Amino acid sequence: MKGRPPHRGSGAKRGPSGFAPRAGTGPRTSAKDAAQRAARNRGEDAAERSPWDDGAASESAPRPNRVPEAAAPKPDAPRARAKSPSDKPRAAKPSFAKPSLTKPDPAKAPPAEAPAGPTRREQRAAASATLASGVQTLTVDPDEAGMRIDRFLGARFPQLPFTRVQSIVRKGELRVDGKRAKPNDRLEPGSSVRVPPLKLDQPTERPRSAAKIDGDAEFLRSLILYEDADMMILNKPFGLAVQGGSGTVRHVDGLLEALTGPDGQRPRLVHRLDKDTAGCLIVAKTRLAASTLAKSFRSRAARKIYWALVAGVPRTRQGRVSTYLVKDEPTDADARMRVAKHGDDGASHALTYYATVDQAAQKLAWLSLKPVTGRTHQLRAHAAHIGHPIVGDPKYFDVENWELPGGIQNRLHLLARRIVIPHPRTGQPVDVSAPLPPHMAQSWNLLGFDAARYDPIVEAPEA
């Protein structure tokens, strides 16, 4: 099909699209008008160029018809190319340079500097906030060396109840380097820990307010007996749990979140005390300090002295209690301990030294206790085993027809009185004593006991 001849006034040259404009679509123009329009178009083309172009035409590209310089009017200022925010000043290029008119592929552009990846603490927090749906294999980090397998699992999955952690380990569901793990097994750096599918509790607590965090931090600071850059020793009050459990909302481990430093380091528990036991509780400020202090407890380099008010007076003023202890209910983390025989399933050796400091007739005695081992409820079970249970003990006090003396509260009279432990960095001994809690101070006053008198258990043998 033959095309319609172009209109004389429209210009016969084809545009960039390859098609000539249709005739009759615009007013007739003279050659001078056409020249002016071409000059203006050149200014518009420049405004539409890509920011990657330098404004020079390629030698191989067809050049538009140009009008003589004298005939071409200079473009007005408003038609100058508008600068975009992405424009950068360009250095002048030699006249022989042949720039490319092709836009670079953004996918091939140099990548921007990647932000730093999440820290290990952030990765663990994200992992613990997600339900684990399958078997996982964890690698023990160097700063986790020496941790008990149950503590390791609890640290990696903070939302997992500690009773559930102990149940998983007790049932043999954990494997360390392919072998079945026991609760008190210690981990070596680089070990592979196989974890079964876990169903983690989704967080139900609302985010704590700044006032709540400040209040928790202030409360903990009021308990500090000793503090430096590596550790602190708290005077844990009666009735405050050390770790969470079934129905336990407020506990030391949770309160320590309020003392998290700017670097993300969170104070860590090194050992435990029963909920109703008051006194010295060591907390490490760094993971390295926690590992070192835990080794001091395992090697029995830490010396602990407890005070207790017991029923009756031991015939032997100073003595030694050596038994095997086992839980009545293995699946219950806070179950009652009972004396067992050597070789019984789950039985562990427990050793305690004791000394009678003072007495009230034959009714009550002030005992100083020095545990060599650190079994659950060890002192409470041993005191009951020798026939002198601790006053106010709801689990082990079983003396028939015994009446609580007037003025003495029915609360557990057991205090973690003193602890001496090598400093995790310097190795120098840190020696700290805790005062009597209010209910024990009241009993001491009623019975006429002098808390400042010499403690004979200090010189007891280590093992």
Catalytic center residues = 274
- Local structure of 8: helix, strand or coil: helix
CB 314 within 8 A of CB 352: no
- Alpha-carbon distance of 325 to 340, in angstroms, equals 5
As a three-state string, the secondary structure of 224-284 is: EEEECCCEEEEEECCCCECCCECCECCEHHHHHHHHCCCCCCCCEECCCCCCCCEEEEEEE
Residue 108's alpha-carbon distances to 90, 103, 114, 123, 453, in angstroms, are 21, 11, 16, 31, 81
Residue 104's alpha-carbon distances to 96, 108, 109, 112, in angstroms, are 21, 7, 7, 16
- Alpha-carbon distance of 368 to 307, in angstroms, equals 5
Structure tokens at 334: 């806070």
What is the 8-class DSSP label of residue 67?
-
Residue-wise DSSP of 184-216: TPBP-TT-EEEE----PPPP-SPPPPHHHHHHH
Residue 384 CB neighbour total at 10 angstroms: 24
CB 353 within 8 A of CB 457: yes
| 116-146: b (≥16 Cβ within 10 Å) or e | eeeeeeeebeeebeeebeeeeebebeeebeb
- Local structure of 423: helix, strand or coil: coil
Q: Residue 232 forms beta bridges with which residues?
A: 227, 283
**Helices within 396-437 (DSSP H only):** none
What is the 8-class DSSP label of residue 430?
E
